């Protein structure tokens, strides 16, 4: 898939600051270092798109990107990062909660977990949150290249069980290293964002 026009729109903390547009939004969330930036970059085939989200001042904000003026990627700040000061952590919850409940354009969330590990307590809480808000969720187990093929099914069962994934839901694997899963993740995004 080739994109002509992928660009950063703005950062926001409060609903008044969200972009005034009429595009379907798909938000990405996961614990810090899970591979969210790598997933975003790989999906749009740009090396540095998500680097914007990692520049000082923007890491703890919600970052919006337009994809060919058809779709908006929303990069939500990662959770569970020990180095983040308590004051910042306190702001995270209301900021994310406001976005999830007040965005006019949110169609679904991509919840990213590390394929190598049992989902953390934070992952489980995030999942419960999304369920309680009834937000369509695509669960992506990334860094799948790190798991030998013979061990994948067992590991995916563990992740699926821990996050209470239902048979009807999207539960996908991905690797930014091999680009495995790019197509299926895009299909899942298209399914929940396109009219
Ligand atoms: P973020 O903090 O969630 O945005 O995570 P990054 O995308 O910056 O990735 C964190 C680390 O994991 C980096 O060292 C990446 O190179 C590595 N990483 C990300 N995705 C993958 C993947 O699919 N496979 C492997 N092997 N490493 C990955």
- CATH number of the domain bearing residue 18: 3.40.50.300
Q: Is residue 54 part of a domain?
A: no
Domain hosting 179: range is 12-34+79-193
Q: Is residue 181 part of a domain?
A: yes
175 lines ligand 1 (CB under 6 A): yes
Q: Is 70 exceeded by the pLDDT of residue 1?
A: no
Residue nearest to atom 25 of ligand 1 (CA): 143
> Of all helices (H) and strands (E), which one includes residue 20?
none
Per-residue pLDDT, averaged over 21-31, amounts to: 97
**Total tally of structural domains belonging to the chain:** 1
Per-residue pLDDT, averaged over 148-162, amounts to: 96
Q: Is residue 67 part of a domain?
A: no
Rounded to the nearest angstrom, the distance between the alpha carbon of 75 and the centre of ligand 1 is 15
Task: Annotate 67-113 with three-state secondary structure.
Answer: ECCCEEEEECCCECCCCCCHHHHHHHHHHHHHHHHHCCCEEEEEEEE
In this prediction the pTM is 0.96
Q: Is residue 50 part of a domain?
A: no
Q: What is the pLDDT of residues 42-67, one digit of tens each?
A: 999 998 888 877 777 778 899 999 99
Q: Is 70 exceeded by the pLDDT of residue 91?
A: yes
Distance CA 195, CA 191 (A): 8
Q: Is residue 63 part of a domain?
A: no
Rounded to the nearest angstrom, the distance between the alpha carbon of 35 and the centre of ligand 1 is 4
Q: Is residue 58 part of a domain?
A: no
What SS3 state is found at 23? Answer: coil
**Within a 10 A sphere around the Cβ of 121, how many other Cβ atoms?**
8
37 lines ligand 1 (CB under 6 A): yes
Q: Is residue 144 part of a domain?
A: yes
What SS3 state is found at 14? Answer: coil
Which ligand 1 atom sits closest to the C-alpha of 50?
4
**Within a 10 A sphere around the Cβ of 94, how many other Cβ atoms?**
11
Q: To 5 degrees, how large is the angle CA 13–CA 16–CA 18?
A: 65
């Amino acid at each position: 898939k080739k994109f002509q026009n992928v660009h950063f729109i703005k950062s926001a903390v409060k609903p008044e600051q969200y972009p005034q547009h009429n595009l379907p939004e798909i938000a990405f969330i996961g614990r810090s270092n899970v591979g969210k930036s790598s997933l975003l970059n790989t999906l749009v085939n740009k090396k540095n798109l998500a680097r914007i989200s990692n520049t000082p001042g923007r890491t703890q904000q919600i970052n919006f990107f337009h994809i060919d003026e058809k779709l908006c990627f929303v990069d939500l700040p990662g959770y569970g990062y020990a180095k983040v000061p308590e004051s910042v952590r306190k702001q995270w919850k209301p900021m994310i909660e406001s976005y999830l409940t007040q965005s006019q354009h949110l169609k679904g969330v991509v919840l990213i977990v590390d394929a190598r590990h049992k989902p953390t307590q934070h992952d489980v809480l995030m999942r419960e949150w999304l369920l309680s808000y009834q937000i369509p969720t695509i669960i992506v187990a990334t860094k799948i290249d790190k798991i030998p093929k013979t061990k994948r099914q067992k590991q995916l069962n563990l992740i699926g069980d821990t996050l209470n994934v239902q048979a009807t839901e999207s539960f996908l694997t991905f690797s930014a290293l091999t680009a495995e899963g790019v197509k299926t993740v895009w299909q899942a995004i298209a399914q929940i964002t396109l009219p």
